[in-house]
Structure 1
Amino acid sequence: MNHRLPIADRAAARRAALRLIRLERGAFATVLLLATLSALAGVAAPWLLGRIVDAVRAHRGTGAVDHLAPAILLCTLAQLLLARHARLLTHRFGERTAARVREQYLRRALALPSAVVERAGTGDLTTRGTVDADAVAAALRELGPEVLVAVIQSLLILGAALAVDLRLGACGLLGLLGILLAWRWYLRRARAAYLTEAGTTSELAEMLAATAAGARTIEALGLQHRRRAVGRRVLAVAAAARGRTLALRNVLFPLVDVCHAVPVVAVLLLGGLLHARGEVGAGAVVAVALYLRQLSGPLEELMFRSDQLQSSSAAFARLEGLAGAEEAARRTGAVPADDRIELRGVGFGYQDGPEVLHGVDLTVRPGERLAVVGPSGAGKSTLGRLLAGVERPRTGTVTVGGVPVADLDPEQLRRQVVLVTQEQHVFLGTVRENLLLAAPAATDAELDAALAAVGADWARELPAGLDTELGPDGHRADGAQAQQLALARVLLADPHTLVLDEATALLDPATARHAERALAAVLAGRTVIAVAHRLHTAHDADEVAVLEDGHLVELGPHDRLVAQDGPYAALWSGWQGEPTP
């Protein structure tokens, strides 16, 4: 079961949005000013038209009309130009802010402990960085200017209606009560519905990624029908979540459409009554009615954009939720006194499952080569993850220089301990770019030396050498080559402790032995902890730790453990292909 990453609450999302606005306060203030001026130009036209009506009724001749009509045209043109420029500036503001949101998300994602990412599932993390980030970027580019202008126009139009005649303006406001109630009903339900929809999208992405990654295994075991059943269940949940948001829109939009006409009708009825009694002029009635009719434009824009606004708000809350995960994963920043690693009474279990390690006590001295061996399921990889600070012990402590390994901040941790597993990634780019990730200032000579140290002779034979592109459009590195690139990156990173969790499992035996010996030679004076199923690694180690069912059952050098004729001797004999004495 995946442990979803957190989602920012309304207050946290609002604070984050205000921080982004403060970073662009100058641009935002300019957009706000232009939008206000555009709205003011827009509200002038109905007032001028009302003046024309009054002039005609008063038989003032065509002079008044000739003067006021061009003014209406000028106001309309000014509104168009000001609104266009406001939208242009808002698009630029949106692009810059969207870039900040993406960069902040990437920084936070990279700062997350790998255990958090594993438990959350890559589908959730990927969906937030793609679908949610795109939704926020689109909202900033397109939704922001439209909503901002519409809100300002609505407020100024209502203010103008009240200024023309307080009674007619108040009547129009009461007529808008239906729209306000409909929106209130929608907004109280929309955020939760859109967060649910986004969550099911993450689950769908996770299911598709897992199916694609395990396609060969699924086919080999004949599990296609089971996987299809899982897919249908996930799709059904996603469709139901999308249906709920669609149902909300199907209620809101018709209600708002009907309610648009109510304030105009109410003003005309009240205005006719007041005009008949001589309490208000026809021009005022026309002006207020036109204002309320004009109000339908920005209100329809807000209604049309409300769906996207709620969707993007939910997306932003999901993106900003990584701030909570980052805060929860924040380390103490303590500095180890030395490179000595100690485990005291360590017990560990994954999530709510049973313990897989029990009371492990172990000391790894600086510069020591320790091999961790044992049968499958003994807890070797789990011990490696604890040593590398990926996991925290359920009981006991795992420290380096007196500081809990899991409390080291990421940069400090990388300088202290690096974990290398058999699952490695080749990044798109050149061989040089793949290696420089570990040491940006490394020279070509240092890169060549690192490749040679792990036996990556194939890199020298590439058409463009270090500048050869890797990936679908270039050299396709196989599993063994990817592993060698990863080991070369480790050498360049130069940590004081290296945890190898079957890191050479994808290499052929001869290449693996060469790479391990090369690593041991290059890392002389550094601590090497090798979790291995090839016992020649244990033969070359200073100490061998033997695990069985999560317990540390033997600890000592190879020759002594073989002589003791215990669990390690049985493992060694079986690996050598000899019968156990």
Structure 2
Amino acid sequence: MPSTATVPSTPPSATPPSSTFTATPIRSAYSIGADPDQPLGGQHCLGYVEFGGKRLDPAVLEAAVPHLHRHPSLRAVMPTPEHLIDHKTKPLSLVVNDLRTAPTPRRSWSRSASNSPAATRSPTTSLTFPPRFPPQEAPTVNEPRAGTQPLLRLLAPVAVPVIIAIVLQIGAAVVSVIPYLAILRLSRALLAQTPDPQAAWAQVGWFLGAIGLQTLLGSLALLLTHFADVELQARMRRDLTDTLGRVPLGWFDDAGSARVRQCVQNDVDSLHHLVAHSVVEAVAAVFTPLAGVAFCFWVDWRLGLAALAPMVLYFAIYSLLARGDMREIMARIAAGLSRVSAAIVDYVGGVAVLKVFGRGGEGSARFTRVSREFRTEFSALVGPQMKIQSIALLALAGPAVALICLGLGTWFTGAGWTAPGEVLVVTIVALLLPSTLYTVAAATQARGESLEAAARITALLDEPQLSEPTEPGTPRGHDVVIEHVDFSYVPGRKAVDDVSLTVPEGGTLALVGRSGSGKSTLATLLARFRDVEAGAIRIGGIDVREMSPETLRRTVGIVLQDVQLPAISIADNLRLGSPSATDEQVREAATAARIHERIMQLPRGYDSVVGEDVRLSGGEAQRVAIARTLLMDTPVLVLDEATSATDPESEVEIQQALARLTRGRTVVVVAHRLSTIVDLDAIAVFEEGRVLEYGTHAELVARGGAYAALWADYQGVAA
């Protein structure tokens, strides 16, 4: 049965939460305590951290143990090297020396029976936290498709100029034999018993004219491909920009900025090299030697064979000496590079923690070992191949080619089969043939890179996009109605399961629950980061899918846990949602979010550039985000852990500011700090995507259910 609930419309009141707790640090190798006189710099930490009697920077612990602030009852832990694995998709392992509360299955935590010394001397326990992305919240993005189809699809708009360029380059390849023909006839005219100067000058004219025509045709081909490339890049970047503007906002969390940058910048550049250069270069590298070989056979079939002899010798030597499957070799090299990359990520990500615990040498030792193993394996795989390649390439060296052609040509001339001029011209052609191998190899590599780039680009272009209504609606009020909403990140595993809630205009609703229970997902659905799979979310009677993006932006403001501040000035960051805001309005919003004084301390005040003039802490960045949302003055606010990164000194002030400024607005709050939501109109407790409990704080505590257990745990830590 779906859970349906209505939030009372009484306005919220502010109750300052407790920012610290009082407890005596337990004696263990690693302990967490509280020091009211020395507020912490860490964003989520409960007090101070000691290791071996030495107080440590709690921010280091927070970086190493992402789940600590979600499980504040964990009193003493000793990190193990498993910390250093990628915690996005793999479990995080700890060794627990002392537990104030004991873990129970399915990420639930319950109070222990006693806090006695005996409890603090519990034996060491192995504990595993779930991945940062639970299975039901795994990123969902299109995977690139292999094959040539994506590349052909992208090149279709510029197919005509590219085909014309190919034809022109083939013409240039055919014309390229005319200079050799002119040289041959010139030699005959000059070496005749009676030289013919007029005929010789005519051949010089043919030579120069052919060179000019070949250059003209090749230049026109390159010009066409460069024009086609400019058109293709503009079209692709426009299409990519349009797609990025239409995909759900949640897609960016799943894909990450690296993939977007890879497609828009690197992959488009890869196609530039293919279209602008590789196409005509590959055609020239194939047809020019073919025309040259055909010319050699036309002169004399024996000389044609002599011109091909170095190439045949090269492939024969390589085939006889080469050992092993190149695909297997490349796969092993790629696997080795992957191990080196993983070691780098592990070392860089965990070097601070390792150094704090006096184990800095372990990370570097592992990286050094992996690098040494890869170097040894690479040498064993590639060394023999390089030796074979070097021996085989001797057959294509200029002296070797000249020796073969001139030696055979001398024999043919002595036998009366050919003339000296013919031998000279064929030798010149043969000397030019090996260079085309390198061009073909480079073009083949560019084609492979372009196939991969095209696959990634088309995968992005094919991402599902948010539909825009043909007749957008305007909300007639600011109440929020959630009706039987379903949503899944992965088919068959619902992150939100048949949820129904109602928040009257001006009401406040808190969403609480364990990590991965679906509360943050529901909040992002309200802001249409993604579209619901079933049911509907209505604001003022209008489905959010029936609002234009501009109307939705003016209606719903959201502050997320993960704050993104572009590398622009503080003032421009605050004006992102309200470009026309005055300086006074900007200062008022910053003051309300308790960030104005910090901004005024910066070198250029509100004109200070993020990342250049200042690097804001997590709490400061979150206060900027709060001010930015407040400046938008939206009637509906979604606060997803909006105060999670604030320090204890300013948390009370921010809560008071939020309480004052959210009055009269419809507010949905996702919270882990239960003290910040006790006075909200209603609380919905989530478990596995469903509303498990619903009511006011007092009602839920009196009921003695899941929320009461959460509240008891929270009070136990804060006591």
Question: Which of residues 238, 260, 285 is equivalent to 1:150?
Answer: 285
Distance (whole Å) between structure 1 residues aligned to residue 178 and residue 693 of structure 2: 89
Q: Is the 8 A contact 2:413 2:420 kept in 1?
A: no
Distance (whole Å) between structure 2 residues aligned to residue 21 and residue 254 of structure 1: 43
Amino acid at match of 1:427: P
Distance (whole Å) between structure 2 residues aligned to residue 194 and residue 223 of structure 1: 35
Question: Which of residues 459, 475, 483 is equivalent to 2:622?
Answer: 483
The verdict on how the C-alpha distance between 1:161 and 1:341 changes in structure 2, with shifts beyond 3 A counting, is: farther
C-alpha distance after superposition, 1:164-204 (max 9, x if no partner): 568866896798678899999x9xx9899879978986886
Distance (whole Å) between structure 2 residues aligned to residue 267 and residue 403 of structure 1: 86
C-alpha distance after superposition, 1:425-445 (max 9, x if no partner): 332221233234434555545
What secondary structure does 1:296 align onto? helix
Q: How far 1:45 moved relative to its partner?
A: 2.4
C-alpha distance after superposition, 1:488-508 (max 9, x if no partner): 333456666543221212224
Q: Give the gaps of 5 or more residues in structure 1.
A: none
Amino acid at match of 1:47: L
What secondary structure does 1:429 align onto? coil
Q: How does 1:31-430 map to 2 (within 5 A)?
A: 39=173, 42-61=176-195, 63-64=197-198, 66-67=200-201, 70-71=204-205, 74=208, 78=212, 89=223, 96=230, 100=234, 146-147=281-282, 149-151=284-286, 153-158=288-293, 160-161=295-296, 208=344, 211-220=347-356, 227=363, 231=367, 255=392, 258=395, 287-303=425-441, 305-306=442-443, 309-310=444-445, 313-314=448-449, 317-318=452-453, 320-333=455-468, 340-342=480-482, 344=484, 361-365=499-503, 367=505, 368-374=507-513, 380-381=519-520, 384=523, 397=534, 399-401=536-538, 420-430=559-569
Q: How far 1:327 moved relative to its partner?
A: 1.8
Q: How far 1:310 moved relative to its partner?
A: 1.4
Q: How far 1:555 moved relative to its partner?
A: 0.6
Verify: 1:533 aligned to 2:668, yes or no.
no
What secondary structure does 1:469 align onto? coil
Distance (whole Å) between structure 2 residues aligned to residue 133 and residue 203 of structure 1: 28
What secondary structure does 1:553 align onto? strand
Q: Is the 8 A contact 1:36 1:152 kept in 2?
A: yes
The verdict on how the C-alpha distance between 1:47 and 1:548 changes in structure 2, with shifts beyond 3 A counting, is: closer
Q: Is the 8 A contact 1:136 1:313 kept in 2?
A: no
The verdict on how the C-alpha distance between 1:143 and 1:541 changes in structure 2, with shifts beyond 3 A counting, is: same
Identify the structure with bigger relative contact order (alpha carbons < 8 Å, sequence gap 6+).
Answer: 2
The verdict on how the C-alpha distance between 1:440 and 1:282 changes in structure 2, with shifts beyond 3 A counting, is: farther
Q: Is the 8 A contact 2:593 2:657 kept in 1?
A: yes
2:610 aligned residue: 470
Distance (whole Å) between structure 2 residues aligned to residue 500 and residue 149 of structure 1: 61
What secondary structure does 1:470 align onto? coil
What secondary structure does 1:372 align onto? strand
Distance (whole Å) between structure 1 residues aligned to residue 266 and residue 447 of structure 2: 10
Q: Is the 8 A contact 2:567 2:609 kept in 1?
A: yes
Q: How far 1:47 moved relative to its partner?
A: 0.9
Q: Is the 8 A contact 1:547 1:553 kept in 2?
A: yes
What secondary structure does 1:455 align onto? coil
Amino acid at match of 2:193: H
Structure with the higher helix share, 1 or 2: 1
Q: Is the 8 A contact 2:318 2:392 kept in 1?
A: no
Moved more, 35-44 or 231-240: 231-240
C-alpha distance after superposition, 1:389-433 (max 9, x if no partner): 66789xx84632499989999889867766533332332221233
RMSD over aligned Cα, in angstroms? 5.7
2:68 aligned residue: none
C-alpha distance after superposition, 1:75-125 (max 9, x if no partner): 587489759967985896598479656776677677766766666676666
Amino acid at match of 2:607: D
Alignment TM-score, normalising by the size of structure 2: 0.59
The verdict on how the C-alpha distance between 1:445 and 1:127 changes in structure 2, with shifts beyond 3 A counting, is: same
Amino acid at match of 1:295: L
C-alpha distance after superposition, 1:343-388 (max 9, x if no partner): 648586x869x97968563314363421122466766445545655
Q: How far 1:511 moved relative to its partner?
A: 3.8
Distance (whole Å) between structure 1 residues aligned to residue 242 and residue 175 of structure 2: 44
Distance (whole Å) between structure 2 residues aligned to residue 543 and residue 44 of structure 1: 88
Distance (whole Å) between structure 1 residues aligned to residue 164 and residue 337 of structure 2: 37
Distance (whole Å) between structure 2 residues aligned to residue 183 and residue 446 of structure 1: 74
Amino acid at match of 2:151: R
C-alpha distance after superposition, 1:305-361 (max 9, x if no partner): 25xx4166326514641431442443444689777453648586x869x97968563
Distance (whole Å) between structure 2 residues aligned to residue 238 and residue 342 of structure 1: 55
Distance (whole Å) between structure 1 residues aligned to residue 201 and residue 554 of structure 2: 78
Q: Is the 8 A contact 1:194 1:310 kept in 2?
A: no
Distance (whole Å) between structure 2 residues aligned to residue 539 and residue 160 of structure 1: 90
Q: How does 1:432-511 map to 2 (within 5 A)?
A: 432-440=571-579, 442-458=581-597, 459-460=599-600, 462-471=602-611, 473-491=612-630, 497-508=636-647, 511=650
Distance (whole Å) between structure 1 residues aligned to residue 327 and residue 275 of structure 2: 18
Q: How many residues align?
A: 566
Q: How far 1:247 moved relative to its partner?
A: 7.8
Distance (whole Å) between structure 1 residues aligned to residue 704 and residue 211 of structure 2: 95
What secondary structure does 1:330 align onto? coil
Amino acid at match of 1:45: P
Alignment TM-score, normalising by the size of structure 1: 0.71
Q: Is the 8 A contact 1:437 1:489 kept in 2?
A: yes
Amino acid at match of 1:296: P
Amino acid at match of 1:470: V
What secondary structure does 1:361 align onto? strand
What secondary structure does 1:539 align onto? coil
What secondary structure does 1:507 align onto? coil
Amino acid at match of 2:184: G
Q: Give the gaps of 5 or more residues in structure 2.
A: 1-88, 91-138
Distance (whole Å) between structure 2 residues aligned to residue 248 and residue 430 of structure 1: 54
Q: How far 1:558 moved relative to its partner?
A: 3.1
